[in-house]
Structure 1
Amino acid sequence: MASHRSPTHRAAGKRPVLLASSLALALAAVGVVGVEVSQAAPVGTSAGSAKFAAATCADRTFRAMTVSQRVGQLFMGSVTPSAPDSKRIQLMRQYHVGSVFLAGRSKAGTQATKTLVDGLQANADSAAGRRVGLLVSTDQEGGRVQVLSGPGFSTIPSALTQGSWTTDKLRGEAAVWAKELKSAGVNLNLAPVADVVPASLGTANAPIGRYDREFGHTAATVAPHSDAFLAGSAQSGVLATLKHFPGLGSVVGNTDTTANVVDTVTTSKSSSVTTFKSGVEAGAPVVMISSATYSRIDPKNRAAFSSTVIQTLLRKEVGFKGVVVSDDLGNAVAVKTVSPGDRAVKFLSAGGDLVLTVEPNLIPAMTTAVQTRMTRSESFRWQVEQSVHRVLNAKQKAGLLSCG
């Protein structure tokens, strides 16, 4: 899972090497022809078409896509690199899923990972004869949260250790780690963690502090180190992700394994929120939203389903214009009481762009719910169009989309 799953959960399906037979099966599966759920929408039939009248690369690609392809760009499903599941890969191909999360731990190294990713990329969707590459992500934070290891990958120390370094050193090391990801075909890292865990809470903070995932215990330490990690990633051409807005440092429960996790401390003006503002000003291309509830910001909604958190705080007050990705909306206990379709619709309605689910089998229900809502709500369809454009722009930045 992309944010704060415990090492026990992350290790599910762990094997020492990438099995050749599983890889061959998986790569064969992604060649299955996708099933169209709906036809291409006529150009100029919605407010979104007029808004994006400028002929950007993202707009030209968007206009060439079917509705199913557009909706597929809003989803990220998981693949386990140590044991790729051909049926799940086929399902994601069928529903035009535009992003992949490498989940579970693999010691196979960069070359084997690149072979898997290349196979996935070879079967990515096309629009108007142009390949729309996949965003391929993983959790490569360091310490106890490092999904990919083996030949070609460094052993990355914990963020708490990284936070003791100078920012120059961290930027340089982050550039090396990102270069390794790039060589393995990974173009999006779901890191760095910008959460501030107070020293008084420490390891009692289940999602972050327990695993030394924070750079430090004050915003003054976390912000510059998080920014340095971002800069190093950008230097090597890998998109990075600030997480988990507006911060998981002041909670006790882990939203992966605990329901009703509530932060009663954080406000829109808290110093812990300034770490995200600093990262946004430093050019962070992606921000991940927490699934906790923040009683002093929006007591009625989980952050992932809150327009107050995403639209008002993150977009307007912090000024973020990039891609907003969810924390896991598949297996996380925090969202289990919400139907899969509603999880996707609520997140996108609140202003999110990219739905992450570590359980790809939920994607059919999720995409169906999104398309149904699009037919019933002009404003929702407009939000979806904006989100697809943000994802396509991120892909262009990552070198996955070319209109030359």
Structure 2
Amino acid sequence: MTPRERAGQLVMMGVTGGLDAAEARTLSDGAFGSVILMGSTTDGVAGTRGRTDAIQEAGGGAVLVAVDQEGGLVQRLKGPGFDTMPSASEQADLGPAGLTAAAARWGKQMVDAGVHLDLAPVADVVPADKLHSNEPIGKLGRGYGTTPDEVAENVAAVVAGFREAGLSASPKHFPNLGQVVGNTDFTAKVVDDVTTADAAALAPYRRLIADGVETVMVGTAWYTHIDADAPAAFSPAVIGVLREDLGFTGVVVSDDLGVAKAVADVPAAQRAVRFVRAGGDLAISVDAPAALAMVQGLAEATQGDEELAAQVTAAAGRVLALKAAHGLASCEPVLG
């Protein structure tokens, strides 16, 4: 693979609605290995399959397709064939066995529509006394409980159901958005001054990693007790907790680095570079032009930088291994 092709494997591009001609060109020009389906649609399973088939045609049949399909206020795919998914707080009432059965059904619907990865479930632990002040999770009903053990049991049940359906999961937002007030999508610097590297709130991730979860999403809030100098997605210390302390060897995915206010002060061409330098693998940009800039910036940054080039190679190997599990790449990716 060329440096540009490797970089393309490490950036996930947003596609809003049907794939238009401009998006098809960007997908091809950027050598993107993955896309995230943006925009809420009511096309149903069959209509979504037509959309993902068009993406595969433009991407040479080797594109990992992801979506935000949590339930409640965050359900991108609707219409005939897709269940209406309740919010996470309501899903929790099903109990672990019921939740696994429901997730297996929802997962099969996504797989039938051509989706490989659901950027869910939310594994954040919002304490009961912060449910009404926590803007990104608590106030929106996106949490599976108010204690680490409760959340861990429920998200493990969801991931088990997805796995049964052949769908990969990406629990989020590591290390935890449960203690913050602001939303990183709309606020420039959201700070958590509570969570530590050994916080009880990491329990859901410990459980999921032990169960073999394939990917984990890292957020863009700042964690002063872990790294006061960088947001999580750009922090070697935060990603180091995930890799070294928790022993995660799969794909580290970023929260959106395209239009989120949390990264607006970083040039687009530098965002994937900072993420990969910190130990990340797959940078999401819901904005296609920003995604293209991220690929170009990452490819250029590897020239003459042996350390970064080695990180890109290793990250591409992890991403290709995930894709191979879905029949989208060789089972033994060879880079060089």
TM-score interval w.r.t. the shorter chain? over 0.9
Q: Distance in 1 between matches of 2:331 and 2:151?
A: 38
Q: For the Cα contact (< 8 Å) 2:222–2:232, is it kept in 1?
A: yes
Q: For the Cα contact (< 8 Å) 2:19–2:55, is it kept in 1?
A: no
Task: Note the residue ranges of structure 2 that are not aligned, 5 or more in a row.
Answer: none
**Any idea what the Cα deviations from partners look like across 1:159-199, whole Å, max 9, x if unmatched?**
00111221011001000000000110011100010000111
Counterpart check, 1:221 vs 2:150: yes
Query: When the two structures are superposed, what TM-score results if normalisation uses the length of structure 1?
Result: 0.80
Code of the residue aligned with 1:329 in structure 2: it is L
1:373-392 equivalences under 5 Å are 373-392=301-320
Counterpart check, 1:345 vs 2:273: yes
Counterpart check, 1:274 vs 2:210: no
**Any idea what the Cα deviations from partners look like across 1:276-296, whole Å, max 9, x if unmatched?**
111111111010001000001
Give runs of ≥4 in structure 1 deviating > 2 Å. 83-86, 122-125, 401-404
Task: Note the residue ranges of structure 1 that are not aligned, 5 or more in a row.
Answer: 1-64, 126-130
Counterpart check, 1:93 vs 2:21: no
Aligned-residue offset at 1:67 = 2.5
**How large is the Cα RMSD of the aligned pairs?**
1.2
The residue aligned with 1:395 is 323
Q: For the Cα contact (< 8 Å) 1:88–1:361, is it kept in 2?
A: no
Code of the residue aligned with 1:80 in structure 2: it is T
Counterpart check, 1:138 vs 2:67: yes
Aligned-residue offset at 1:364 = 3.2
- From 137, 143, 147, the counterpart of 1:208: 137
Aligned-residue offset at 1:88 = 2.2
Match of 1:204, SS?
Answer: coil
The residue aligned with 1:161 is 90
Aligned-residue offset at 1:69 = 1.6
The residue aligned with 1:25 is none
The residue aligned with 2:289 is 361
Q: Distance in 1 between matches of 2:14 and 2:293?
A: 16
Match of 2:318, SS?
Answer: helix
- From 123, 129, 133, the counterpart of 1:194: 123
Code of the residue aligned with 1:108 in structure 2: it is D
**Any idea what the Cα deviations from partners look like across 1:34-54, whole Å, max 9, x if unmatched?**
xxxxxxxxxxxxxxxxxxxxx
Q: Distance in 2 between matches of 1:147 and 1:362?
A: 21
Q: For the Cα contact (< 8 Å) 1:244–1:290, is it kept in 2?
A: yes
**Any idea what the Cα deviations from partners look like across 1:116-155, whole Å, max 9, x if unmatched?**
1112112324xxxxx5x21101111111111100000000
Code of the residue aligned with 1:96 in structure 2: it is A
Q: Distance in 2 between matches of 1:119 and 1:194?
A: 32
Aligned-residue offset at 1:402 = 4.1
Identity %: 43
Aligned-residue offset at 1:90 = 1.3
The residue aligned with 1:171 is 100
The residue aligned with 2:6 is 70
Counterpart check, 1:317 vs 2:317: no
Q: For the Cα contact (< 8 Å) 1:79–1:89, is it kept in 2?
A: no
**Any idea what the Cα deviations from partners look like across 1:5-40, whole Å, max 9, x if unmatched?**
xxxxxxxxxxxxxxxxxxxxxxxxxxxxxxxxxxxx
Q: Distance in 2 between matches of 1:208 and 1:222?
A: 13
Q: Structure 1 76/178 Cα, relative in aligned 2: closer, same or farther at 3 Å?
A: same
The residue aligned with 1:303 is 232
The residue aligned with 1:60 is none
Q: Distance in 1 between matches of 2:15 and 2:30?
A: 15
Aligned pair count reads: 332
Q: For the Cα contact (< 8 Å) 2:324–2:331, is it kept in 1?
A: no
The residue aligned with 1:12 is none
Larger Rg computed on CA atoms: 1
Match of 2:124, SS?
Answer: coil
Code of the residue aligned with 2:177 in structure 1: it is L
Q: For the Cα contact (< 8 Å) 2:4–2:296, is it kept in 1?
A: no
Aligned-residue offset at 1:275 = 1.1
Code of the residue aligned with 2:6 in structure 1: it is R
Q: Distance in 2 between matches of 1:253 and 1:246?
A: 16
Code of the residue aligned with 1:78 in structure 2: it is G
Match of 1:325, SS?
Answer: strand
The residue aligned with 1:263 is 192
Q: Distance in 1 between matches of 2:22 and 2:260?
A: 22
- From 52, 55, 64, the counterpart of 1:117: 52
Q: Distance in 1 between matches of 2:294 and 2:57?
A: 25
Q: For the Cα contact (< 8 Å) 2:148–2:203, is it kept in 1?
A: yes
Aligned-residue offset at 1:86 = 2.3
